[in-house]
Amino acid sequence: MPTVRSAVLEDCHNLAPNLRPADAAELRAFAGYEPLEGLVESFKVSAQRYVIEHEGEVLTIFGASPSPHDPTCGLAWMMASTSLEDHSIWFLRNTYWMEKLVDDHYDWLFNFIDIRNEVHMKWLRWCGWEFGAVHENFGVEGRPFQEIYKFHNV
């Protein structure tokens, strides 16, 4: 059964070679990052960061960093390995309390998502996230990204 723990920098190195292709594409489209660079940058700026692992394999890294514009807002993120699908039932059953690890620190969570990342968009809708404006020319590749947000503690 998967477990959740605080992330360490080494987890980024373990996840990078197995990152979901859609997550790798989103990192490249947003900031031009390759998987390891994007994982490490996300790790470094985040106040909260966690790992889901199974038998030593990193399945996801997720977290949030405080917005530089609004300290009540957390910039939430998650990147997953291709192996997460093997644990999808466990993941869905445990999503609520894992999300609380991050969202309890902020009044609301926010980010942008590459609209090509259909699996994450479907999961975020299922989790109750709201979808805002689509920015047609976003990131270094100028691709469509959509605002996502979820309000808590307000």
**Residues 59-86: tens digit of each pLDDT:** 999 999 999 999 899 999 999 999 999 9
Q: How many domains does the chain have?
A: 1
DSSP H or E stretch at residue 115: none
Rounded CA gap, 15 and 99, in Å?
20
Beta bridge partners of 114: 145
Q: What is the pLDDT of residue 102?
A: 86
Domain extent for 102:
3-111
- CATH number for 15: 3.40.630.30
Ramachandran angles phi, psi of 34, nearest 5°: -85, 165
Is the C-alpha dihedral spanning 47, 72, 131, 101 positive or negative?
A: positive
Rounded CA gap, 59 and 55, in Å?
10
Q: Is residue 62 part of a domain?
A: yes
Read off the pLDDT band of 104 (50, 70, 90): confident
Q: Is residue 53 part of a domain?
A: yes
Across all residues in the chain, what is the average pLDDT? 95
Q: Is residue 144 part of a domain?
A: no
Q: Is residue 12 part of a domain?
A: yes
Cβ–Cβ under 8 Å, residues 7 and 40: no
pTM for the full predicted model: 0.93
Q: Is residue 117 part of a domain?
A: no
